[in-house]
Amino acid sequence: MDSILRLLMGPWTTHIIWVLSDQGPQRFGVLKRAVPGISTRMLTERLRMLQRAGVVWREQAETIPPAVTYGLTPRGNDLRGVLDAMGEIAERWKTEGVFEGDDLGGAASPNSRL
């Protein structure tokens, strides 16, 4: 359990996995726009880390410029139930006013779409 928590607790990690789970495979630029506030460097680092963990796959088309697409592996798809449960909790908490008056639900928050 400790290993998966360390993996998911990294900055932006859960948000990236959620976007790929919710929207399917994405090109790098589209994924960057779907995660507001993330820098190019941070997105690159997180995607590489998720690739090493076997959660995300990367496909590079032999075009000029290269078109790089990322998606979830079967291991990454294993997390869908966890993300769906977090989404349900987030919706319930939102209706209870948990996110009012703080920055937890702000656009730059890594988990704002959960």
pLDDT 10s digits, 39-97: 999 999 999 999 999 999 999 999 998 899 999 999 999 999 999 999 899 999 999 98
Neighbours of 33 (CB within 10 A): 12
Q: Where are the domains of the chain?
A: 2-95
Matching CATH number, 2-95, of 1.10.600.10, 1.10.3720.10, 1.10.10.10, 1.10.4190.10 = 1.10.10.10
Task: List the one residue out of 82, 110, 10 whose CA is nearest residue 52.
Answer: 10
pLDDT at site 41: 97
pTM of this structure: 0.81
